[in-house]
Structure 1
């Protein structure tokens, strides 16, 4: 039984690892080495184009690498990595691709890391994904209790090969699957052709996740603000394709999550989808939602989660609409937009007035349940490195904290409880 001031078991639901790109060669099938050399040869041109478009800030990049040279090796060096995790107080992590989010210097072969998308050549895409997955399994095996490796899954490739890669990745020790957020000219995710994939994911107990990164950049020209405004929308889009087409109803064991896209967009979306299903005027004139046997919020609570990286204060204020258990915090290590190397300070500034029990859920317990971490194995580590509630500025007397959130908690999903919508800034910290 936990004592009120026991250290937190922190599991980051969004971290990144990847080899310097040229070092993937031993993990790539030799049949693709020639294409891999061509891909490497185009790297300088890709970096130059990113700089021209303003995606890469040369001054920032230089300082970032100079200031964090040692820690950034944790992107692929297992010993350095656990040192950085310990410093942040993070006991476990969910590991996505692309350790370098500045120069793309750790991109998986053929650009199938965070840029995984339906516009890639299916054969090369699968080869590149398998190369990363093989390396990642080796990497995670060095400290298996601390890492849940996310296998890259080019789901728009030939279905038999996709299903085979799910089982191969599971057998290798990986624990989750990242699919493209965009299918481009391939079949969209409501297509029944993907049902064997969802079934295999459910059977193996591997959550399926999308991650921000891919977007139709060719449409934006030099206007980076357009990309920034939309980049979190694309990984969220598969959610409503899967939900309204009955995927979650047909595959109740499937878990689906959205990473590094925040969760600020979810309350209004959930409110809108629930209203449509429950008989709002706009939904009545449309065809029946025959694929669904329950309202959208029930699928959210049963099967969905949000890896809400760098969860913001505004998002925490909406947690009773989203569902506390549906929010999984992430540090985004080692990306510059994340909390590393100042995670402890960031947690104090963000969670100081959040109830301890809810904080434990969002910082680690929910992620442990979704991604299958062994909390008993991590407990001694958490006692050694985890910050305590006091370290986060949370008072020992929790009664005033609980009371300050009482009205928001009772209101919850106001469209279901019939309560008045709380006004942020009056009854909510």
Structure 2
């Protein structure tokens, strides 16, 4: 039984871990060692290019590593990692690749971490992914109740190899799969060649995820603002490819998540897609969407979630349109754009006027369900390290807080009661 001021069980849906790149060698098949040496030799050139493009700020990088030297070892050192998670009040985490987002010192072999893309060499891409997955399985096995490891999955490789890697990753103890946000010159995700992969992911109970990072940087020139404006769009794009092509209908057990791309874009997208499907005036000239048997919001609530890293106040204000249970908070540890090492203060600034029951869902319980964490095993730890509602500035008397959001909650997905759809009634 949870009392009103019990500590929060916090699960970060977006954290990162990875070895210093050169230390991946023992996890890499020997026949790729020469290619790996060439990859390592190009690191300085890639860092210089990042600086030239404005993606890397040299002065910031120097200060970041100097100020956080000890904590950053938590990117690959398990004991240090638990110390940092405990300090932030985070009981468990979903672990993506690339602990270092400043200098790429922990990049997975051949750049298949957050930059995983359809244009990777199929052989090197799979080799690099498997090397990271092997290390990650060892890493999370030390405290499996606290970590859900995300296996890298070069899904554009031959389907039989991809399916085999899904099962291998599951058997090794990993719990989710990250696919490229961009398929580049390969088949888009509506193609039926991927159906065996979606089926394997559903069978294994492993959510399929995209994560921000990859983008067509060669198109942007020196204009960093273009990259920043688009980098969260690419991970979201597969969502509507899977939705409209009927992937969610054919594979009802498949769960899909978009990580570190915010969730500010989702309300308007959902509004637009629902209206299109439900026969808004502007879409009546189109043929019926035969691949789908229900409106988009129903697939969203059944199978989709957003790992809304460093969730913003504006996004929380839209939570009744997005769906409270579809928003999974993340700290982004140990990346500088995340909330670490000041997560407790950040949570207080962000959630102070959000109802406690909803906060519990977004900060941990929804993630526990999406990724299969054992709440019973985590609860004693959460009671020891988790911040309480009062620590977040949330009042003990929740009546006024609930009342302040009553109108927003009532309006919710307002388009589902729109006069454009008189046959709908009041349903969602």
Q: Do these two structures clear the TM 0.5 threshold for a shared fold by scoring above it? A: yes
Mapping of residues 28-427 of structure 1, within 5 Å: 28-418=28-418
Following the alignment from structure 2 to structure 1, what is the Cα–Cα distance between the partners of residues 225 and 60?
18
Residue aligned with 1:329, SS: strand
Alpha-carbon displacement from aligned partner over 1:143-174 (angstroms, at most 9, x marks no partner): 10000000000000010000000000000000
What TM-score, normalized to structure 1?
A: 0.97
Following the alignment from structure 1 to structure 2, what is the Cα–Cα distance between the partners of residues 295 and 76?
43
Following the alignment from structure 1 to structure 2, what is the Cα–Cα distance between the partners of residues 208 and 73?
28
Please report how far the alpha carbon of residue 417 of structure 1 lies from its aligned counterpart in structure 2 after TM superposition.
3.5
Following the alignment from structure 2 to structure 1, what is the Cα–Cα distance between the partners of residues 416 and 2?
33
Following the alignment from structure 2 to structure 1, what is the Cα–Cα distance between the partners of residues 253 and 54?
42
Alpha carbons 1:94, 1:148 under 8 Å: kept: yes
Please report how far the alpha carbon of residue 51 of structure 1 lies from its aligned counterpart in structure 2 after TM superposition.
0.5
Following the alignment from structure 1 to structure 2, what is the Cα–Cα distance between the partners of residues 416 and 287?
21
Residue in structure 1 matched with residue 423 of structure 2 by the alignment: none
Alpha carbons 1:16, 1:98 under 8 Å: kept: yes
Alpha carbons 1:411, 1:417 under 8 Å: kept: no
Residue aligned with 2:150, SS: strand
Please report how far the alpha carbon of residue 288 of structure 1 lies from its aligned counterpart in structure 2 after TM superposition.
1.6
Answer with 192-201 or 275-284: which moved more: 275-284
Following the alignment from structure 1 to structure 2, what is the Cα–Cα distance between the partners of residues 54 and 250?
43
Answer with 276-285 or 144-153: which moved more: 276-285
Residue in structure 2 matched with residue 423 of structure 1 by the alignment: none
Unaligned runs of 5+ in 1: 420-429
Following the alignment from structure 1 to structure 2, what is the Cα–Cα distance between the partners of residues 122 and 341?
37
What TM-score, normalized to structure 2?
A: 0.97
Following the alignment from structure 2 to structure 1, what is the Cα–Cα distance between the partners of residues 417 and 408?
11
Alpha carbons 1:348, 1:392 under 8 Å: kept: yes
Unaligned runs of 5+ in 2: 420-428
Alpha-carbon displacement from aligned partner over 1:182-203 (angstroms, at most 9, x marks no partner): 0000000000000000000000
State the superposition RMSD in angstroms: 0.7
Residue in structure 2 matched with residue 425 of structure 1 by the alignment: none
Residue in structure 2 matched with residue 424 of structure 1 by the alignment: none
Following the alignment from structure 1 to structure 2, what is the Cα–Cα distance between the partners of residues 37 and 405?
57
Following the alignment from structure 1 to structure 2, what is the Cα–Cα distance between the partners of residues 24 and 158?
24
Please report how far the alpha carbon of residue 406 of structure 1 lies from its aligned counterpart in structure 2 after TM superposition.
0.3
Please report how far the alpha carbon of residue 282 of structure 1 lies from its aligned counterpart in structure 2 after TM superposition.
2.4
Following the alignment from structure 1 to structure 2, what is the Cα–Cα distance between the partners of residues 367 and 56?
32
Alpha-carbon displacement from aligned partner over 1:270-302 (angstroms, at most 9, x marks no partner): 000000000012222122200000000000000
Please report how far the alpha carbon of residue 418 of structure 1 lies from its aligned counterpart in structure 2 after TM superposition.
4.2
Following the alignment from structure 1 to structure 2, what is the Cα–Cα distance between the partners of residues 332 and 338?
5
Following the alignment from structure 1 to structure 2, what is the Cα–Cα distance between the partners of residues 74 and 45?
26
Following the alignment from structure 1 to structure 2, what is the Cα–Cα distance between the partners of residues 197 and 284?
34
Alpha-carbon displacement from aligned partner over 1:351-396 (angstroms, at most 9, x marks no partner): 0000000000000000000000001110110000000000000000
Following the alignment from structure 1 to structure 2, what is the Cα–Cα distance between the partners of residues 417 and 366?
27
For these two proteins, the number of residue pairs brought into alignment is: 419
Alpha carbons 1:13, 1:93 under 8 Å: kept: yes
Mapping of residues 13-24 of structure 1, within 5 Å: 13-24=13-24
Alpha-carbon displacement from aligned partner over 1:94-127 (angstroms, at most 9, x marks no partner): 0000000000110000000000000100110000
Following the alignment from structure 2 to structure 1, what is the Cα–Cα distance between the partners of residues 295 and 274?
6
